[in-house]
Amino acid sequence: MPVFDYSQKGVTASLENSELFAKFSAMTSLIDFEIMGGYVWDDDPTMHARKGVDPNTMQPSITVIPQHHRLSIGGGSFSTTIGAFVLRGEGAYYGGKYFQTADVTTTDGITEKDYLHYLAGLDFNIGDTRISLQFIQQAILDYDDQIANDEFENTATILVSRTFLRETLKMELFSYIGLTNEDALIRPKLTYDFTDGFQLLLGANIFTGTDGRFGQYDDNDMIYFKVKYSF
């Protein structure tokens, strides 16, 4: 079992360790868009893994040292209408991200790579039914086969919703679909406005697949019921 050393996990609250963001946005007759940039700390600590020898047993050991690193981010988003369709997109370029690798001999089990994370979406109606589709991709640049993550992680989302009974009953189906690992999270939901301020909600979270972001939770399907009273 590895030994964890948390001595470097914290980020000191100081002016030098501040995060900086800048954004420019505009709304025009043809397109709404924004451009952003940032210099931030990665929310997820990098797990440095260092090999050594246990002084008590003289057996090989691994010490895991969680540590936060800086990220440089640049990106933007846009939204425009094409006839009855709404076309959306957003993305960001991340510089200086650390990924886990299988090599703990000379690199602490990590490697620094830049990566892209972006999505494209399309919204439209078919009669009274609203449909929203999205394609999301994370792509690691200058990929190394020893990296634990896949070079490309592709995900799609689909949202289908419709109201009935003078908009008092709403049926909704939302799903994340992991295209890389063939897994999914399916979230059907039924909402009924019984009276003003009194709402009933029935839903479920259904995981499918065996691997990936959603497939690993295949045994955690759930159904839930909620009563909401607003006053």
Q: What is the pLDDT of residues 53-95, one digit of tens each?
A: 777 777 888 889 999 999 999 999 999 999 999 999 999 999 9
pLDDT at 166: 86
Identity of the amino acid at 129: T
Can you tell me the distance from the alpha carbon of 217 to that of 158, in angstroms, rounded to the nearest whole number?
Answer: 20
pLDDT at 108: 82
pLDDT at 138: 96
pLDDT at 118: 97
Q: In what order do the strands lie in the sheet with 20-27?
A: 20-27, 32-41, 70-82, 85-100, 110-126, 129-140, 152-164, 169-178, 183-195, 198-208, 222-229
pLDDT at 50: 82
pLDDT at 106: 62
The pTM (predicted TM-score) of the whole model is 0.83
pLDDT at 104: 65
Phi, psi of 104 (to 5 degrees): -110, 10
Give every residue of the chain whose pLDDT is below 70, as ranges. 104-106
